[in-house]
């Protein structure tokens, strides 16, 4: 999921971060899992045309939908591509973690009663190292209830406010609490920090490294550059 007109950092999706476009980091991370097929989901506005160009360059699928109702955009995409299970990945989170995705998919595939896997209920993982995996039938079943502007814009918020209506599984963070760390590019400062992290760790596999190692190296990099 991505768009070009971010308020805090315009055009961030195609901004160069650590040698390639931010959205390219996300695409490469999804491909790296070898478990998912990437689909860029964006709006039907001309301002988001550059994202479609990126999709075409990478020869991946894309879907253009409702500008303001993100929940509907996702709903329409699921129907259009006949998706069974989907992983929500935001275009400003460059380090798509294969370990988290593998764990989440394993849980869904081996526990048919589970409908939704997440790791952000307790908010202990670093911001931007998140995983949210839905069965499409679950999302489509509850979609008619997503009617407030807040829920339509933040398409998973309804589920977190109605956890009693969904059979969910929460992946717990085992390394304390690092939610103050920002593995996300939402501000100029975020962009500078992620750039430093990438440049100062050229041998690190940002997609496959254990989360504990990723966190330790990030802390050391940002601390030493202050």
The CATH number of whichever domain residue 160 belongs to comes to: 3.90.550.10
Tokens 């009693």 found at:
164
The number of domains in the chain is 1
Q: Indicate whether this model's pTM tops 0.85.
A: yes
Q: Which residues pair with 17 in a beta bridge?
A: 20
Q: 21 lies in which domain range?
A: 12-224
Measured between alpha carbons, how far apart are the two ends of the chain, in Å?
32
- Residue 38 tokens, joined: 């990437």
Residue 7 lies in a domain: no
Phi, psi of 134 (to 5 degrees): -115, 150
Residue 88 lies in a domain: yes
> Cα(132)–Cα(117) distance, rounded to whole angstroms?
6
Residues, the chain: 226
- pLDDT per residue over 111-158, tens digit each? 999 999 999 998 899 999 999 999 999 999 999 999 999 999 999 999
Looking only at the bridges linking them, the beta strands covering 85-87 and 61-65 are unpaired
What is the residue-level pLDDT of the chain in tens, covering all 226 positions? 676 567 678 789 999 999 999 999 999 999 999 999 999 999 999 999 999 999 999 999 999 999 999 999 999 999 999 999 999 999 999 999 999 999 999 999 999 999 999 999 988 999 999 999 999 999 999 999 999 999 999 999 999 999 999 999 999 999 899 999 999 999 999 999 999 999 999 999 999 999 999 999 999 998 765 5
- Residue 21 tokens, joined: 């476009």
Tokens 């993100």 found at:
70
- Residue 4 tokens, joined: 């070009």
């Amino acid at each position: 999921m991505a768009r070009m007109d971010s308020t805090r950092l315009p055009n961030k999706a195609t901004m160069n971060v650590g040698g390639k476009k931010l959205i390219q980091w996300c695409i490469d991370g999804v491909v790296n899992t070898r478990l998912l097929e990437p689909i860029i989901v964006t709006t039907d506005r001309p301002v988001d045309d550059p994202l479609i160009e990126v999709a075409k360059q990478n020869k991946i699928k894309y879907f253009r939908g409702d500008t303001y109702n993100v929940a509907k955009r996702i709903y329409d995409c699921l129907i259009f591509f006949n998706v069974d299970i989907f992983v929500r990945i935001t275009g400003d989170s460059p380090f798509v973690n294969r370990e988290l995705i593998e764990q989440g998919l394993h849980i869904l595939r081996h526990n048919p009663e589970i409908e939704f896997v997440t790791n952000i209920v307790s908010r202990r993982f670093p911001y931007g190292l998140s995983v949210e995996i839905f069965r499409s039938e679950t999302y489509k079943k509850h979609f008619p209830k997503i009617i407030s502007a807040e829920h339509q814009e933040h398409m998973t918020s309804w589920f977190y406010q109605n956890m009693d209506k969904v059979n969910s599984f929460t992946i717990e963070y085992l390394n304390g609490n690092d939610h103050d760390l920002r593995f996300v590019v939402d501000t100029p400062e975020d962009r500078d920090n992620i750039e430093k992290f990438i440049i100062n760790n050229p041998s690190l596999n940002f997609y496959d490294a254990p989360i504990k190692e990723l966190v330790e190296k990030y802390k050391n990099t940002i601390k030493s550059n202050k």
